[in-house]
Structure 1
Amino acid sequence: MNHYICETCGVQYERSIEVPEECKICGEERQYISSTGQTWTTLDKVIEEGTYKNIIHFEEERLYSINTNPGFGIGQTAYLLKEKEFNLLWDCITYLDQTTIRQIEDLGGIDAIALSHPHYYSSQVEWAEAFNAPIYIHEDDREWVTRPSEHIIFWSGESFELQEGIILQRIGGHFKGGTVLEWKNGNSQKGVLLTGDIIRVVADRQWVSFMYSYPNFIPLPSGNVERISSRIKECKFDKLYDAFNRVIKEEAKQRVQKSASRYMEALNGTLFTT
């Protein structure tokens, strides 16, 4: 029996003798099944191939990014946040080997894991077992968990403080339980927001966007974006990191608000005429 992994999204499933018929994450309109068809692998097989390695990069004081090279699945970035003897892994990547485990242990290990949304659940249980860490997922996204585990804690409500100054904020949008991480003490006390792709930084790093589906170009309704904008006003941050290591280095809070306004004007037909 194996814990099969969807090669398109990188999400791992509970143990089974045969491969699942279809990936539930990819088989709905926010993601996609590859044009070449549904394919599966396992973590052991990926490690044995020797193709991949994780790169841990220092981003700023007490914050590291973790990327798999070459990219695997969706290719997102995970972040390791260090705060007062509390290390948090924000979002997950699929690839995990002994080298990565040793490198992270040298940085103090992982005390907790928190997820923005189901596309980045990846091999979260492997990470939780390797570091004996709880996984925090908003209860509104419970149905999307493909590998149940006693490590998973479903939290509820609009916010949840993991540690002083480290707060999960459910803002919805991309998924009902879509969550961002507010780190009040980061960025020299000016605050950092880590967003997955609940909020996505665009090419020029001056604006952000909000989507129901990025690969299928399905926008969010303007009302959802207005609600997200209102919730984000309550957070303390001047810098923003998204799921693909795009960073707004300053005035991020103002740029999110401006971007939300532009997005709503576009959907409401008042931004331009063509």
Structure 2
Amino acid sequence: MRFWICATCGVEHADRPRVCAICADERQWVPVDGQLWTTLDDLAAAGAGVAFAPLEPGLWGLTVEPAVVGIGQQAKLLVTPDGALLWDPPAFVDDAAVARVRELAGPAGVVAVVASHPHMFGVQVEWARRLRPGAGRALPVLVARADLDWVARPGEEIVDWEGEREVLPGVTLTQPGGHFPGSAVAHWAGGAGGRGVLLSGDTIFANPDRVSVSFMRSYPNRIPLSGRVAERVAAHVGRFSFERLYNNFDGVIPRDARDVVIRSARRHREWTEGAHDHLT
């Protein structure tokens, strides 16, 4: 089935509208030259492929290379003995990428495809269809109920959810909101040698200094969340133990990530409420 991919955000569309609604929103952008569309065939002709990089035992980063679609985001493949989770799915898929995911996922296979928020939908339905576990069985694409209206390519694979969901033993999806009302994170209790890992998308964004994080409505357009929302998000994920945090690019907080999140939320509130105006 032919479908369209927004070249800027990498999200699949059943039809080709005049403009991608995700990019036209204040959190994203439409290129100065106008809306651009592409297809899997076009991307394959441009040499696109999916590169796999080991991040830690049980966790792989997936990027589209060369960077011919999307904003350079890095998907994650989280592999456990009970199955694998494809998180923030890439904006491109081909037979080689599917074969590699199947190999890494092992006999239990991929149990779900999940994006942290609409910017990271990628070609989620296409990934689910190609990773389908068997005839008559759809691989679920879990989409936050609050963000369901952003889905531009419907399919039987789409399953809405809200609140909290254990998608695999020791792997919990939860929705702190913030960046989008349904923005989600994935907590992996067995990550970081059993000290816990948080896959945060850009609900909580690991900063380049590796000792702080950001809380934003829009990263490219520099729209901050309020201090109250930042602390709400931090408190929500602070219920879990996690040593390490990965965002939706190659950013990582390598240690003490839970404390970093809570401390950064406090700093965010102080700055947005004017506590440090004397420094400006």
Q: What is the TM-score normalised by the length of structure 1? A: 0.95
1:169 is matched with 174
Residue aligned with 1:25, SS: helix
2:141 is matched with 135
Which of 77, 84, 87 is the equivalent residue of 1:87? Answer: 84
1:59 is matched with 55
Paired residue total? 269
**2:66 & 2:264 partners in 1: Cα distance?**
31
Query: Displacement of 1:160 after TM fit?
Result: 1.1
Unmatched 5+ residue regions in structure 1? none
**Is this contact kept in 2: 1:111–1:131, CA < 8 A?**
no
2:160 is matched with 154
Report whether the alignment pairs 1:237 with 2:242. yes
**Is this contact kept in 1: 2:82–2:168, CA < 8 A?**
no
**Is this contact kept in 1: 2:61–2:74, CA < 8 A?**
yes
Report whether the alignment pairs 1:20 with 2:25. no
Query: Displacement of 1:165 after TM fit?
Result: 1.0
Question: Deviations for 1:11-57, whole angstroms, at most 9, x for unmatched residues?
Answer: 1101x4xx31110101110111111111111112111222x221101
Q: What is the TM-score normalised by the length of structure 2? A: 0.93
Alignment of 1:20-59 (within 5 A): 20-50=17-47, 52-59=48-55
Question: Deviations for 1:155-200, whole angstroms, at most 9, x for unmatched residues?
Answer: 122x111122110010000000000000011111100000011111
- Letter of the 1:115 partner, please give it: A
2:64 is matched with 68
**1:185 & 1:234 partners in 2: Cα distance?**
16
Query: Displacement of 1:230 after TM fit?
Result: 1.2
**2:262 & 2:7 partners in 1: Cα distance?**
36
Query: Displacement of 1:70 after TM fit?
Result: 2.2
**Is this contact kept in 1: 2:3–2:13, CA < 8 A?**
yes
Q: Alpha carbon RMSD of aligned pairs, Å?
A: 1.2
Percent identity for Structure 1 against Structure 2: 40
Query: Displacement of 1:122 after TM fit?
Result: 1.2
Report whether the alignment pairs 1:259 with 2:259. no
**2:178 & 2:261 partners in 1: Cα distance?**
14
**Is this contact kept in 1: 2:52–2:63, CA < 8 A?**
yes
- Letter of the 2:99 partner, please give it: R
Question: Deviations for 1:57-87, whole angstroms, at most 9, x for unmatched residues?
Answer: 1111111111112222111111111112311
**1:226 & 1:240 partners in 2: Cα distance?**
17
- Letter of the 2:180 partner, please give it: F
Unmatched 5+ residue regions in structure 2? 133-138
Report whether the alignment pairs 1:188 with 2:193. yes
